[in-house]
Structure 1
Amino acid sequence: MIYTGNNRNLTIEPYEPCPCHLDKKFKFCCYQKAKKDTSAPMAKGFSLGRVNHLIREFYAATDFRTCFAFENNQCSGPIKNAHSLQNNRILNVICENGHLYYFKPEVVDSGPTSVIKKIGKNDASTFFGFCDFHDTELFKPIELFDYTGDIQQKFLFAFRALAVEMHKKLRQLENVKRMFAQRPRIMLDPQFVYMYRVAMSDVNDHQIEYELFKQGFQNGDYTGVRTIHRELQYGVKFAACSSFTVRYDINGKVMNDTFSTKNDRMPSIFLNIYPTPQGTTNILISYLNIDSEVYQNYFNSLDALDDQKLTKYLNYLVIENTENVFFTPSYIESLSENERKSFERSYNSSMNVLERASLLAEGNYYKFDLFNLAP
């Protein structure tokens, strides 16, 4: 996202905490480094292959292991590369020959983008977010049993969507801090300050949500989450598990100013869509009840839609907001050239307003259907 507006909040003020050391003031920590830094831009003159390698290497260094379980004193075993989408009950259903497709970030001649690539099933949707004990015990109600509408199952599906997103946002914040450390002068650049502000806000928002889930779990109270569940009588060829803030309601009215750099909390929704071994599809869309002022009417509108209208809306919502989504190879490979271009470009247009305008002008915006597989 490129921010081009004027906003005092896009300057790191002298007496605010320094990005590299939050208990020190910027003026007395990295400000002089930033002013004196004359280093060349990162990866200047490198080939695209080397640039992509460096980006992957740089981001890989931000990975970390933690257990997001609510009772850390019970942790046991190593931190697992846990699946946010169940390996045996979901990924097995959509994979073919052990592979899936996903959107992979890459740099091309025109700049940063994402392209459709294959990935092995065992590597899909994984993150180092739970110890061996909690990855097994905490999620037993959704790992071992079919979805029944049980309130604890709704709670756990929503929480796992938060956990994978929280891990990613913590990595993104660390990524920005590492860029600041290597090129201090970019701490004076509004574009990079905006990235830092967004990353900080995202982490703070998710930490608040995490504490609410923790409180509910420890009290044995799973009622703090509202969930819409819809079962389709056919299996789709993708699966998604994510949390994100919804900017517009179904009528195009702004609910959340997601481009703001102010300190207002951006409330999340939690989305899980997956086919079942029985040939149906479960759709779960949730939010925390403390955010009813923002999302209650929006959810009422979603709940009133019939299956056809809901899936048409979700076709847009998934691609617009979700990175943690994986597709059956035969579905991707069956797309026409025009559909595949629309698929990739529509996904990238969520971060590129010029691409969106171009797709709209061509009449090629979202010219595909993730839910068109009913027999």
Structure 2
Amino acid sequence: MKSIKNDARIKKCLHPKQEECDQKIIKAHAIQNNRILNKLGENGLVITMDGTSNMIFQGSQKKGRKIATTFTGFCKHHDKLLFQEIEDSEFIASQKQIFLFTYRTMAWHYHKKQEQLNAQTIRYKRMYEQGYDMSSSEDFRLFEKGLKLGIKDNENEKLIFDELLLDEIYDKVNYCIWELPYEVEFAVSMMHELEHDILGQAINNLETDVNLRKLYLNIFPADSKSFCIWSWLKENDDAYIDFSKQFMKLNINDRENYFNNNLPRWTDSIIISPRLWNRWGDGIQEALITHANFDILYRVMEEETSDYKYSYMDTPWNFFEKTI
């Protein structure tokens, strides 16, 4: 698995102006190193949720903050030029800053999906050389089909973002911001196809919809405060304006609880401070990891009851817990 992961790496700048690339592909940070990971780190280390156990299960991992959330998706020139306004300036929630946070999240997940398909192709070839024809497996064919459809969706999304970037049209990304009056001990950079809103109404059908409407989420600590930013392309306002209003109508405890329950199910793009992680202890850590791996069970339960409406469900972990 490690060999395949290394061989599947893609080093290519995702900026639309390829002719300007300096050809030096770097390990760009999807979550800012100096402004965000530096706050979360302890002795240069952070906890990530992108580890694996027994090759297939999601797990936690301790990483140096300088390598956490890195991806080889931009050349040095474009990484510096493109994201300068969010790397070197205080976050003031300008339209351009919101666009850049969203663009970087989109690019990171686009790149991850490309590498995932690359790894699947390598895996298929190596298994075939060992006498196993994975194409004879219906499960494999469905998984591969899903990957390719996801990449096609992402490519369409990236084309829209690239056009907006080149034309410097930043207000075609809509957003909703929840500002917290203290620095949280975690960060998230996530792209998601939300299936149901908070009231349980359908937004995306992952089995039948041709074009899935994507939602982006960035959560991070800043100077003496934190920001939770939902963002999406304005062409998807019909899906996500109502959702964002529903979210903001929740009281603070419910907003936190909504994230505590859903973030582990939705994404492995979560960075946690060792201060918070160690405060939880082994039992809570294991409970969180188990919850992250049980998404398929929760989905079956929801389908059986046809109840997708948010309701408070206690969790032993609280991402929003203060350690000081």
TM over 0.5: yes
Question: Counterpart of 2:192?
Answer: 244
Q: Distance in 2 between matches of 1:250 and 1:188?
A: 40
Question: Counterpart of 1:159?
Answer: 103
CA positional deviation for 1:213: 0.7
Q: Greater Rg, structure 1 or structure 2?
A: 1
Match of residue 255, structure 2, among 298, 310, 322: 310
Pairs aligned (count): 310
Question: Counterpart of 2:141?
Answer: 193
Change (3 A) 1:351 1:62: farther
Structure 1 stretch 291-300 or stretch 138-147: which is displaced more? 291-300
Q: Distance in 1 between matches of 2:193 and 2:283?
A: 30
Change (3 A) 1:70 1:305: farther
CA positional deviation for 1:256: 1.5
Change (3 A) 1:100 1:183: same
Q: Distance in 1 between matches of 2:237 and 2:290?
A: 33
Q: Distance in 1 between matches of 2:47 and 2:153?
A: 30
Whether 2:126 is the aligned partner of 1:182: answer yes
Between the aligned residues of both structures, percent identity stands at: 23
CA positional deviation for 1:219: 1.6
Q: Distance in 1 between matches of 2:123 and 2:298?
A: 25
CA positional deviation for 1:120: 0.8
* Secondary structure at the counterpart of residue 321 of structure 2: coil
Match of residue 169, structure 2, among 193, 204, 221: 221
Question: Counterpart of 1:133?
Answer: 77
Question: Counterpart of 1:87?
Answer: 33
Tell me the alpha carbon deviations over residues 233-259 of structure 1, each in whole angstroms, 9 at most, x when there is no partner. Answer: 11111111121111221123332222x
Q: Distance in 2 between matches of 1:222 and 1:163?
A: 16
Change (3 A) 1:252 1:264: same
Question: Counterpart of 1:285?
Answer: 230
Q: Distance in 1 between matches of 2:301 and 2:41?
A: 30
Whether 2:233 is the aligned partner of 1:233: answer no
* Secondary structure at the counterpart of residue 71 of structure 2: strand
Please say if residues 164 and 242 of structure 1, whose CA atoms lie closer than 8 Å, have aligned partners that are also in contact: no
CA positional deviation for 1:294: 2.6
> What TM-score do the two structures reach when normalised by structure 1?
0.77
Please say if residues 319 and 346 of structure 1, whose CA atoms lie closer than 8 Å, have aligned partners that are also in contact: yes
Structure 1 stretch 157-166 or stretch 174-183: which is displaced more? 174-183
Question: Counterpart of 1:301?
Answer: 246
Q: For structure 2, list consecutive stretches of 5 or more residues without a partner in the other structure.
A: 303-312
Matches for 1:10-89 after TM superposition, within 5 Å: 55-89=1-35
Please say if residues 273 and 281 of structure 1, whose CA atoms lie closer than 8 Å, have aligned partners that are also in contact: yes
Match of residue 324, structure 1, among 258, 269, 274: 269
* Secondary structure at the counterpart of residue 16 of structure 2: coil
> What TM-score do the two structures reach when normalised by structure 2?
0.89
The one-letter amino acid paired with 1:204 is K
| Cα RMSD (Å) | 2.2
The one-letter amino acid paired with 2:144 is Y
CA positional deviation for 1:158: 0.4
Q: Distance in 2 between matches of 1:365 and 1:202?
A: 32
Question: Counterpart of 2:307?
Answer: none
Change (3 A) 1:126 1:355: farther
Structure 1 stretch 322-331 or stretch 82-91: which is displaced more? 322-331
